[in-house]
Amino acid sequence: VTNTILPLTDTITPAEEAAVVGAVRAAHDSATAVYPIGGGTRLGYGAAASRPGIGLSLRQLCRVIDHSPQDLTVTVEAGVTWAELTQRLAAEKQRLPFDVPDGGRATVGGILATSLNGPRQFACGAIQDYVLGIRAVDGRGTAFAGGGRVLKNAAGYNMCRLLVGSLGAFGVITQATLMTRPMPETSAFATCDLADFDAAEKLLSALLHTQTLPVAVELLIGPVWPINGGLSQFRAPCKAWSDENGTVPLSSAHAKGLLVGFEGSAAEVQWMIDQIGQEWRQLGVDSSKIVLGADADFVWDELIGFAAEVQISVLPGKLIGLIDGMLQSQPGCSILSHAGNGVLLVRLPPTLPERFSAAIRQLRAMAVEAGGKMSVLARPEGVALSREDTWGPPGGEAAVMRSIKGRFDPKNILNPGRYIF
């Protein structure tokens, strides 16, 4: 899985918002494409850029403008890295409950522009729920702002919602005010084997009535999990597989496990771990294990760092049927599912570039049939995907987005070609 190299003729690194304004205004005047770059960790996400242009690195906009622990807010420039921000918040026993891979390099601007959520979304909500205010520069080189803690609101649009997740297509994010949360004292996972898909359905349904408050409900399926190192010592699903109960068997290469994550005070977490153990025993689960402390931190990292090519969202009730179908059509793929949110991340087995597009289309057809949506997160080197193969056919929102794009970026200079239009 590699990043696409953007067709950059030059890269500039402004250190002030005013310099971003100047650079984008000059690019607007000469109709030059501008590709915002944060940490550069996920430049391959999105469709291929449509023409050469300049890279606009935000890494020097890296100041923490304000942190008010008592108000649970922090205002930072877009180039602040996730590691810098989390360290700063941790000193006040606070955090943002986002699950960010490559935190040493990923920046706040990149995290907001891509807005991909991880396991904690189940309990903590989506990234956009934490954005109180945002500042950005549109495709005409005009600075604008929306939400709280800002000087001026651009009337008529919810700027935070518009900019978060739009891959820099409407504006270069320069600053954001985020709502922080208290840092939990500790975390833990309860894990168990899943003998088959019936067992998965049964345990997921039972979680609807659990007395506990999970922060993450994760299904792990596929060959990558046992051999990916480390995680196998904490979880059970690499156990060999049998169909002795006459239920749907999968290949022995397909490890399957359920991980349920908890966070809170030590006493709360201990109570929830004991409680879920009891609930699972009543359901006949005899393979449960507990992962605590530093081992739990390691599991979080493994989940957050799972590299996938495809993300699918579907109603949670359709999840298991879809996974079953996918394993039959793409044997050897590995899956991490944020099951409580109906999100599936799929890592395809290594394949020839020419087969990748066919696999993508097949998975999309299955996702759509299940009433879901799919986007491509990354593609192997040498594979060029069309915009439609990357994002799927344009939905009803595309026309609205296109018209907003026309107002914010009339010459289509911001990340041209890469988003859904």
Ligand X SMILES: Cc1cc2nc3c(=O)[nH]c(=O)nc-3n(C[C@H](O)[C@H](O)[C@H](O)COP(=O)(O)OP(=O)(O)OC[C@H]3O[C@@H](n4cnc5c(N)ncnc54)[C@H](O)[C@@H]3O)c2cc1C
Q: Which residues bind ligand X (CB under 6 A)?
A: 35-43, 45-46, 58, 78, 98-101, 105-107, 109-111, 113-114, 116-118, 167-168, 172-173, 304, 308, 377-378, 415, 418
Residue 166 CB, shortest distance to ligand X, in Å, is: 8
Nearer to ligand X, 246 or 350 (CB): 350
Segment 26-34 long-range contacts (CB within 8 Å, at least 24 positions apart):
26/141, 27/53, 27/54, 27/141, 27/413, 28/139, 28/140, 28/141, 28/411, 28/413, 31/411, 31/413, 32/413, 33/413, 33/414, 33/415, 33/416, 34/139, 34/172, 34/413, 34/414, 34/415
**The two structure tokens encoding residue 34:** 């501008």
**The two structure tokens encoding residue 344:** 């599936």
Residue 178 CB, shortest distance to ligand X, in Å, is: 13
Rounded to whole angstroms, how far apart are CA atoms 249 and 253? 11
Q: CB-based contacts of 303: which residues, under 8 Å, 6+ apart?
A: 99, 118, 119, 216, 218, 259, 336
Beta-ladder partners of 219:
258, 337
Q: CB-based contacts of 361: which residues, under 8 Å, 6+ apart?
A: 389
Nearer to ligand X, 114 or 191 (CB): 114
Residue 247 CB, shortest distance to ligand X, in Å, is: 31
Nearer to ligand X, 106 or 272 (CB): 106
Nearer to ligand X, 41 or 288 (CB): 41
Residue 55 CB, shortest distance to ligand X, in Å, is: 9
Nearer to ligand X, 202 or 373 (CB): 373
Residue 58 CB, shortest distance to ligand X, in Å, is: 4
Nearer to ligand X, 173 or 215 (CB): 173
218 and 345 in contact (C-beta within 8 Å)? Answer: no
Residue 265 CB, shortest distance to ligand X, in Å, is: 25
Residue 200 CB, shortest distance to ligand X, in Å, is: 21
Nearer to ligand X, 128 or 275 (CB): 128
348 and 308 in contact (C-beta within 8 Å)? Answer: no
Q: In what order do the strands lie in the sheet with 33-37?
A: 8-12, 53-57, 33-37
